[in-house]
Chain A
Amino acid sequence: MKKVVILGGGVGGTIVANQVARQMNSDIKKGTLEVTVITDSEQHVYQPMFLYVAFDQVIPGEAKKLEREILDRHIKMVVGSADRVDQDKKTVMMTDGTAVPYDYLVIATGSRPAPEQVAGLPEGGHLFYTEEGALKLRQALHDFEGGRIVITVGVPHKCPVAPLEFTFMLKDWLQAKGLGQKTEIVYTYPIGRLHSLEPVARWAAPVFDDQKIESHIFFNPEQVDPAKKTITSLEGETLDYDLLVAIPPHTGQDVIGRSALGDAGKWIPTDRTSLRMKGSEDIFVLGDATDLPISKAGSTAHFEADVVAANIVNLLNGGLGSIRYDGKVFCFIETSLTKATYITFDYLNPPKPSEPTEMVHMFKMAYNRLYWLTPAGLL
């Protein structure tokens, strides 16, 4: 019996499992194939919803469903914590001592926000990348009566459009609350423009001018002083704040470190087109877990998962598994509480953002509800 094991029950891992299980359904029924998802939580979380939780537009329950209900019923699900991947024995060792053997392994462990990498940030700042963080920020915004809000961005981070989205939505939200005139919004960014994507940065610059959003480029958060309410960059600039919202630096997962599969940041060296772990024929990596210089985002994981699933099905059917990932990414960009635009790009074609419209915002709102079809492998 062939065994396909997917480590990680996020969007990418779940898509791979469902697509392989659906396309190889008869093999699973015959008992010649087993597809297993290892996940550390029974809940599947649609993380982009936390942006809206911070503004009290949705509640966290709307971002979660049981993973078992999303997975094809022929897929085996193991809920537990993976201790390490043993490449020699082709096995995932669980912390409870059980072993999950594989013929093909898909590592889709994602990343985690690491605010602790910036001294003082956990005590002095807010974030909206976790449920807990978004709820605390929701309360802080609810209690906010005006002042100086600094938005800062660590490296690396996932969802690269989120800093701009949060900033624009915040501006709109403050205006609606009657605090627009009493608040300064200060946006910092690690490199020499407002966004890593040059066309997006060019588009955002006049919007910042128009909305009177102050910006500080070449600003990498290094230290926060919660008592003095200041943040200092590694470039040596210090800013005062009344409310600090951080997109914190991210790190790969500890299981990658324990397995000695990653670099110093626990990112796995991955071939950019085959999506195989470098030096391995039977381990695929996708989503945030890779060391690829592309956006860490659900959409990246989604498009990579399509390629990984196709290659695994191809290999199981005697093919060479040579289907290539072209670097495709698609992201919505919320530009206020009522308008949005989108970008799409790949390794060869840069994005071209278009004028924001209410229609794209409405589509994004609809997608937030339709999301569950994506991990199901249907959308």
Chain B
Amino acid sequence: MADAVKIVDGRNSFCPGPLMELIKGIRQEPVGTVFEVWSSDKGSANDIPEWVKRAGQELVSNVEDGDIFKIQVKKIK
């Protein structure tokens, strides 16, 4: 069975914002979980990959879909 993708809907979230929502998800979900962050904030398309790299997690994809950015991240540790 394919892993279900966990949607992190950070659209129109100024505070705490999409990255903090992703960090919350990574902290509480098990290794192997794939998250798809939805963000209406262009900055997230840069900030999230940078944090993922620093935290040693895996960036799966980063695409612009209409007005939102969809960034997939896999928890690998």
Which interface residue of B8, B9, B17 has the most chain A CB atoms within 10 A?
A: B17
Chain A nearest Cβ from B73, distance in angstroms? 14
Residues of B within 8 A of A218 (CB): 50-51, 54-55
Residues B54 and A156 in contact, CB atoms below 8 Å apart: no
Q: Return the chain B residue nearest A220 by Cβ.
A: B23
Residues B14 and A197 in contact, CB atoms below 8 Å apart: yes
Question: A198 an interface residue at 8 Å Cβ cutoff?
Answer: yes
Which interface residue of A191, A236, A351 has the most chain B CB atoms within 10 A?
A: A191
Q: Return the chain B residue nearest A264 by Cβ.
A: B28
Q: Return the chain B residue nearest A295 by Cβ.
A: B15
Q: Return the chain B residue nearest A160 by Cβ.
A: B15
Q: Give the contact stretch, choosing among A14-22, A137-145, A312-320, A342-350.
A: A342-350
Residues B14 and A191 in contact, CB atoms below 8 Å apart: no
Known: A191-B51, A235-B54. A197 touches B15 (CB 8 A): yes
Report the separation of the CA atoms of residues A197 and B17 in the bound assembly, to the nearest whole angstrom.
8
Count of CB-CB pairs between chains A and B under 8 Å:
75
Report the separation of the CA atoms of residues A265 and B51 in the bound assembly, to the nearest whole angstrom.
21
Binding site for A on B (CB under 8 A): 8-10, 12-21, 23-24, 27-29, 43, 47, 50-51, 54-56
Which interface residue of B47, B50, B51 has the most chain A CB atoms within 10 A?
A: B51
Residues A345 and B14 in contact, CB atoms below 8 Å apart: yes
Report the separation of the CA atoms of residues A117 and B28 in the bound assembly, to the nearest whole angstrom.
10
> 4 closest A-B pairs (Cβ-Cβ)?
A293-B13, A264-B28, A347-B12, A265-B28
Residues of B within 8 A of A196 (CB): 14-17, 20
Chain B nearest Cβ from A241, distance in angstroms? 21
Known: A191-B47, A192-B47, A235-B54. A293 touches B27 (CB 8 A): no
Question: A207 an interface residue at 8 Å Cβ cutoff?
Answer: no
Residues of B within 8 A of A116 (CB): none
Residues B50 and A192 in contact, CB atoms below 8 Å apart: yes
Chain A nearest Cβ from B35, distance in angstroms? 12
Known: A196-B15, A196-B20, A235-B55. A293 touches B10 (CB 8 A): yes
Chain B nearest Cβ from A253, distance in angstroms? 15
A156: contacting residue among B14, B16, B18, B43, CB under 8 A: B16
Report the separation of the CA atoms of residues A295 and B17 in the bound assembly, to the nearest whole angstrom.
9
Residues of B within 8 A of A192 (CB): 19, 47, 50-51
Chain A nearest Cβ from B71, distance in angstroms? 14
Known: A191-B51, A293-B9. A160 touches B16 (CB 8 A): yes
Report the separation of the CA atoms of residues A327 and B12 in the bound assembly, to the nearest whole angstrom.
9
Report the separation of the CA atoms of residues A231 and B55 in the bound assembly, to the nearest whole angstrom.
16
Binding site for B on A (CB under 8 A): 117, 155-156, 160, 190-192, 196-198, 218, 220, 234-236, 249, 263-265, 293-295, 327, 329, 345, 347-348, 350-351
Residues of A within 8 A of B14 (CB): 196-198, 345, 350-351
Residues B55 and A190 in contact, CB atoms below 8 Å apart: no
Residues of B within 8 A of A198 (CB): 14, 43
Chain A nearest Cβ from B18, distance in angstroms? 7
Report the separation of the CA atoms of residues A214 and B14 in the bound assembly, to the nearest whole angstrom.
25
Chain B nearest Cβ from A33, distance in angstroms? 36
Report the separation of the CA atoms of residues A70 and B16 in the bound assembly, to the nearest whole angstrom.
31
Q: Return the chain B residue nearest A294 by Cβ.
A: B13
Known: A196-B16, A347-B12. A293 touches B21 (CB 8 A): yes
A155: contacting residue among B12, B15, B24, CB under 8 A: B24
Residues of A within 8 A of B21 (CB): 293
Residues A329 and B54 in contact, CB atoms below 8 Å apart: no
Cβ contacts A to B, 5 pairs, < 8 Å: A117-B27, A264-B29, A293-B10, A293-B18, A329-B15
Chain A nearest Cβ from B24, distance in angstroms? 5
Which interface residue of B15, B21, B47 has the most chain A CB atoms within 10 A?
A: B15
Residues B55 and A345 in contact, CB atoms below 8 Å apart: no
